[in-house]
Structures are given as structure tokens and as C-alpha cells.
A and B are shown apart, each in its own frame.
Chain A
Amino acid sequence: MASFIDFRDPPGSDRRADQPVRATAEPLWTRRIIIGIVLGFFALFLFLPLVVVFQGALAKGWTVLRDAFTNRDILHSIQVTLSVALIAVPANTAFGIAAAWAITRYRFAGRALLLALIDLPLWVSPVIGGLIYVLLYGRRGYFGPWLQAHDIRIIFAFPGMVLATTFVTFPFVARSLIPLMQTQGVEEEEAALTLGAGGFQILRRITLPKIKWGLFYGVILCNARAMGEFGAVSVVSAKISGKTNTMPLEIERLYNDYLFPQAFAVASALALLALITLVLKTLAEWENHRQLKGGREAELAPTIETRPAV
């Protein structure tokens, strides 16, 4: 098929200007200008901010960086971030597998609605993700008086932060599994069924090995968002350093207190997490591609975008 023709020049063959140019390629100088513009854009908008973070962390030397990561409040914020992710990510992984199983294995009334609801957190403002829980569990929220009477704190406390984080991160696993499981089909699962396998046996022995890279992909994206979420969490957190601050909230606190080296030190840890996420994500895409080669093509859903499946 014509669409599989690779238009790119083979690597290393930088065509000389006096050689004939293919009719379906731009002249060399045009290509150089376009690549230059794109490189410039990436440098200005993507690479420079990263450089600023790491430079800012190291600006005052290693001792300041080391002191930052022995500071009690900063260490506590790391602990809070890890705890929130440790609850939200496994919960959303279980939900993602269940939702993808239901949506790709059966037809039922309300399936499109379920898909639309799964996408919701991707297109609403994260601040709304915090707001809705304040309206339910906040002091003047619907359950506020009851919670106060029973001395249970959700908003401005740890449970609220877990709720808000879970809300903004629940689409990731489901959204990376649904297109994958859709294209893979159910033949193997049905064969297992005829051979007498039970539901969980099928899931563990047949489905999970088939979707492992897609699952891995969804989980790391979910984790990156869970650890980095700011908008939703800042609405439901009391923002008390050493108590209810996650790493992003601690960055805000340090920055507003003009403790820039410390703020950038925490930021550099999260930036490192982002870079690792990108590497693992690219790896998962390649592995998934390799696993599927020869079989039916089912690329991983192009990341996190809000491409609603309604």
C-alpha cells in the first residue's frame, strides 16, 4: 500500500544540493528551515524550562540540595505524595481493568455514557476536581455537618487529597487499555473458556499477558499525574507544611516564601520523575509494538489526550 512508503531519507544520507530532489519532498533549504523552527520551538518551550529547574536546584551548590532533602517538611511532603499515589494508582488500576473489560467484552445499554464518564476528568479543569468534593464533604458541604458531628475530616486532610487525586487520574489506565483490548479481540479468551477456565483464570493467564505493556503504559502515566497533581489537590488540602502538603504544594509554599533553591530542589525531583516517565512510556510503546508485530496492529492510544470516544 502506498501509505507505507517511508518518505524520509535513509539515515545519514544528507542529500547534496546539486542532486535531483524528489517531487514529493521539500527542497533541502526548506527542510532545514522547518527543522530549525521546530528545534527552536522545542528549545524555547520544552528544554529551557527543564534546564531552569535543574540549574535552579544546583545554583546554590550540592549542600543546599542535600539540606533540602534532609529538611523535615520537605521529606514529609515526599511521604504524603507517595502515600497518595500508593492508594490512588492501585485503585485506579483495578478500576481501569474492570472498566476496560466491561466495555470491550460486552455490549450493553449505557456503554457510550460509561465511556464518556471515564473521559470526563481529562477535559474538565482540575480545580473542578477539587471543588466537587468540597461541595460534598467540606464544612458547608452536603455531608459536612454529619462529618463534623462524627469528627471525621475529609477536606483539608489526607482523605480529600486521595479523593481529588483519584478523580483526576482514573481515566489513564482505562483509556490505554480500551483501544488495545478492542483490537485484540476475544478469541483466546473464548478458547480458554471452552477449555474450562474460570473468569479470574482467564484474566490472569490470558488477558493480562496480552495487555501487559498497555497496562504498564497506563499505570506509569497514572502515577506521574498522581504524584504531580496540583490544581485539584490544592483545593482540598489545608496546605500546612509538614502536615498536608504534597510535593507540588510544597513547591508552591517554598516558592512563595522566596526559598527558590529549595523550591527548585523539590521541583527537580518531580522533573526527574517526569523524564523517567517519558523514557518508560516510550519503552512501553516500542515493546507493545514488538509484541503485536505479525499479529493485528494495535498501537497504544496516543497518550493522554482528551480524545473522547463518545
Chain B
Amino acid sequence: MKRFTTTFWLAFTALTLLLNLSFHEWWSLYWRDLPPRPPLILPKDTYVCDYGSAGITDDCIYLYGLFGVGDDMRKSDLLLMGSSHVKCGLSAGQLSKELSAKAAHPVRVYNVGIAEGFSFTKDVINQNKLRDKPAVIDLFSIYDNDSVSPVADTTRKYNALGAYCHVGEIWAKYVCDWFWDPFLPHLYPKRIMPLDTLPFKLTIGALHLGRFLQTTAFRSWDTGDLLDFWSPSRGMINSQPGTDLRPYDRTYEDVPNEGIKLPNMAGAQLSGQRPHIIYTLLPFDGYKLGIVPKEAQPFVPIAPEGLTLSDGLHLTELGRKLATERLMQGLQSQGIIVNLSK
């Protein structure tokens, strides 16, 4: 018995080492040309909110108010709500600073932008008892009201414990992949992940060789703001320039020319039960003010001039800074800040 066990472990260890070392030697030739990994030990106010194919954590964190985020949202004076446009395109931290300076006392703002339609945001509002909170709502998410991803559908079925486990699973995957990234390549079927953007192209039949670490997004615990993206081929994205907004005569393919309609349910809920709703529409490729519904009042426009996008839909860090400034000016010019400061 003992001999069997010893032989088994010896054979196992020897071949595992040999295979790993061979792969490592070969992979290191390519790996050294790739952008460095993101930090493993994140600053304490930062978390991984989206990790490649492993999944999204902020759906769970926001819906169930995990890790104290529910309290943070409830304690806030103003919520920024909407889809991924808000997640990437508005800064709660910046707005909080500017509002606090105007009000001469701390005004807390929290970014509740989630990459889902507004029906999911409504779940977050109800689950976390946020109905009476003043909120800035981006109309794009209301247009996308019922379109929620399979991730959100699954998230709705969890309980808080399951949600913690789901978040833990994504973080565990991030940590494991972070460790393996310099040592081994990862084999992806072509249909899963286009890795053509890497500086080299290694294919075996229908398989691509790529890195372990996948696209990662980081978010702030304190403000809910998106802090940065990391891409396997480009590294940290926020340090890189974006593209200018495309002309307004080309409506974004998903938004109809006749404009966004406030769905009855969302409209009733927003106007009837929530006294302090402020609408806005963050610019994206093909954006035009004509798509804003008339009943969306008060509406604070954000001028698109000079805003840069990272992918046609989402603002870059610079674009976000400008957009937040313009939102602040709009709030101020419409006298809404006075209400928030009270």
C-alpha cells in the first residue's frame, strides 16, 4: 500500500513539475511582452466588480446590499442610477466633493450604475429600501427597462448566502488566475474569446492561446465609482486615450428615432413614489436629445462636446470627469442643489 502511494505521488509530482516548467519556459517568451498584471492586493476601498467570463459581482453586491453596500446606499444623500453608462460615466466621488463644498457639509453620493436594464435597478431600490432617496437616473437604462442579462436573472434567484458565495467565487478565480498568469498559458476555444488583440497570435486548430487573467473591472466600496478597467492586451484602460463621440445624426442602433418611452410601470413608480427624481442622459455614439421623453422632468442635459468614449457607449475617465462637472452645473442651474443641501 505504502509503495503504491509513494510511487503514485512521485510519478504525479514529477510529471506535473515537468509539464508546468516546460509550459512556463515557453510561455515566458510571450508573457514578458504583455502588459503587467493588475495589483493583487487591491487598495482597501477597491473591489473586483467584473471578471471576464467568470462573472459580475456588483449585481449581487447591490441587490443584496452585501459587505455594507446596502447601508452605504441608504446613508447617501443622492444616488446615481442607471446602466453601465452611469457605472462608467458619472463619478459619485467627484459629485460628492463638489456638492459638499457648495452645501458646506458632507453630502454623500453613491453610484448605483449596474450593467442591466432599469427593472433590475428597481429590484435594487426595493430590496434595499431606497425609495425615498433622491436619485439621478440615466434614461438609457429606462429605455432598456426589461432587458436584463442572464447574470441578473441568476442573481435574483440567490439568497444572501448564495450571493456571497457567488461573489467569493469570482474573487477566488481572479486570485487564482492572477497567480497562474505568468506561469502558464490558457487555452481558449476560438468562439469564446477573441484574443486577436494580443501582440501575438497563437492558435492550435480552433484553440487560441491567451493569458489566464481576463478583462477585469474595479469599483470603489465608498462611492460605487468604477475605478479602472484592466485588459489582457492593453493593461489599465483609464490611462489610455479614448475616441471622440460619433456625430449625432446617427442614432445608436438600439434606440429608436422616435425616442425613449418611459414605461408605465417605471414612470408611475418613479413619479408617484419617489419625490426627488432627476433625469439625465449620458452621451454615447449617436446620442441626441430628441430621444428624451417629455414626461422625464426635471431633466438635466449633459452637453456631449469634448466627451471621449472608450468603446462607443461608455465614457473614458476624462469624459466622466467632464460629464460629472456638467451634471453638477445642470443641477446647480436648475436649483436642484438647494433641495439636496437641505
Q: Tell whether A pairs with B.
A: no
Binding site for B on A (CB under 8 A): none
Task: Please list the residues of chain B having a beta carbon within 8 angstroms of any beta carbon in chain A.
Answer: none
